[in-house]
């Protein structure tokens, strides 16, 4: 039923892109790719180490290169990093090469899900709430710009969130086919 051969997932840190993406890939019979995990696989080190050595600029260059490569594939569910949308070229690739899902998450939900996470370099040190709010202010319009479908963030288990996402995706695709 998918009008596109690819499903791309964007959204803030802690929205569930990887967890839900895996379940969507399984449901739709597609391959799953997590862009941050691809960067780690290619570099042989965690994303945090890439940030330490190359800074955010170096990381974003790697991210863009891999996004270009991975988005050319057919039949994938691709979970992007939260900041992949910062680059206009990345947004163009996502919009042109797949059906873009925007997983939303409230600040409270992000803080809860990320409470024990110490691996995300952009959240290291300082006030996480303030950092997440600043990221949301910058990135929300960019997610909105390319989203084919918005999945509102709700406090629920991954299984329930995945089932709700599948329902919303299927309804959206049915509306597109009927139009």
Binding residues for Mg(2+): 18
Q: Which residues are annotated as a binding site for substrate?
A: 36, 60, 139
Give the residue among 44, 35, 48 at the shortest CA–CA distance from 80: 35
CB 103 within 8 A of CB 9: yes
| Residue-by-residue DSSP string for 1-27 | --SSS-EEEE--TTS-HHHHHHHHHHH
As a whole number of angstroms, the distance between CA 75 and CA 72 comes to 10
As a whole number of angstroms, the distance between CA 80 and CA 120 comes to 14
Q: Which residues are annotated as a binding site for ATP?
A: 14-19, 120
Q: Which residues are annotated as a binding site?
A: 14-19, 36, 60, 120, 139
């Amino acid at each position: 039923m998918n009008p596109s051969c690819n499903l791309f997932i964007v959204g803030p840190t802690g929205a569930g892109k990887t967890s839900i993406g895996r379940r969507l890939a399984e449901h739709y019979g597609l391959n799953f790719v997590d862009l941050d995990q691809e960067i780690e696989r290619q570099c042989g080190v965690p994303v945090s180490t890439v940030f330490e050595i190359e800074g955010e600029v170096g990381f974003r260059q790697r991210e863009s290169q891999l996004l270009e490569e991975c988005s050319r594939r057919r039949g994938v569910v691709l979970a992007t990093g939260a900041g992949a949308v910062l680059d206009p070229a990345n947004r163009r690739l996502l919009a042109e090469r797949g059906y873009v899902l925007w997983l939303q998450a409230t600040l409270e939900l992000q803080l809860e899900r990320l409470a024990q996470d110490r691996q995300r370099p952009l959240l290291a040190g300082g006030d996480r709430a303030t950092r997440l709010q600043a990221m949301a202010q910058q990135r929300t319009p960019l997610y909105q710009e390319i989203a084919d479908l918005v999945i509102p963030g709700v406090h629920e288990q991954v299984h329930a969130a995945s089932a709700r996402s599948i329902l919303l995706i299927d309804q959206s695709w049915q509306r597109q086919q009927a139009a």
